[in-house]
Amino acid sequence: VYSNLKVRQAAQRKISVLAESHGIKTFTGDGNDVQQVSEMTREAIKFIKGSNKPVFLELETFRWLEHCGPNRDDELGYRELGELEKWIKRCPIESYKNTIIEKSIVTESEITQMIENINSEINDAFNFAKESAFPELKSLNQHIYKD
């Protein structure tokens, strides 16, 4: 869909209102605020465990890249100029990283080491996949459903 959200949905539409209309407890919040999402999730889990009922979380965020690949798609004209940059400035990873550094939970060097370790693990996984034999066709339908 290459059209602005404004022409496809009612203004200020909240999916959580639809869930509430079915009697489902809802939580709404800023999907780019890691701390808020964490607290909201804890509340939701507490409610689920206490009531044995479902919950619905609606978290506002923004898709930076195209739906089907690793590229930006803001040149297609269905997003307002500057909208993507506004959301990139609100990057939840960068924001939370800055928060935990400011609170002296971790240091910048510890973050750097974590990133290096994670990148190494990812690279090892890719190398393992590249060096491994391609799966046999008969394995295509394995591990799709819980046994």
Residue pair 50/40 in contact by the 8 Å Cβ criterion: no
Task: Note the pTM of the prediction, 2 decimals.
Answer: 0.72
Lowest mean pLDDT among 73-82, 84-93, 115-124, 130-139: 73-82
Average pLDDT, the chain: 91
Is 71 buried (19+), middle (13-18) or exposed (0-12) by CB count in 10 A? exposed
- In this structure, the strands spanning 55-60 and 25-30 are parallel
pLDDT of residue 62: 87
Longest distance between any two alpha carbons in the chain, whole Å: 53
Q: What is the pLDDT of residues 88-116, one digit of tens each?
A: 999 999 999 999 999 999 999 999 999 99
| Token duo for residue 48 | 């689920």
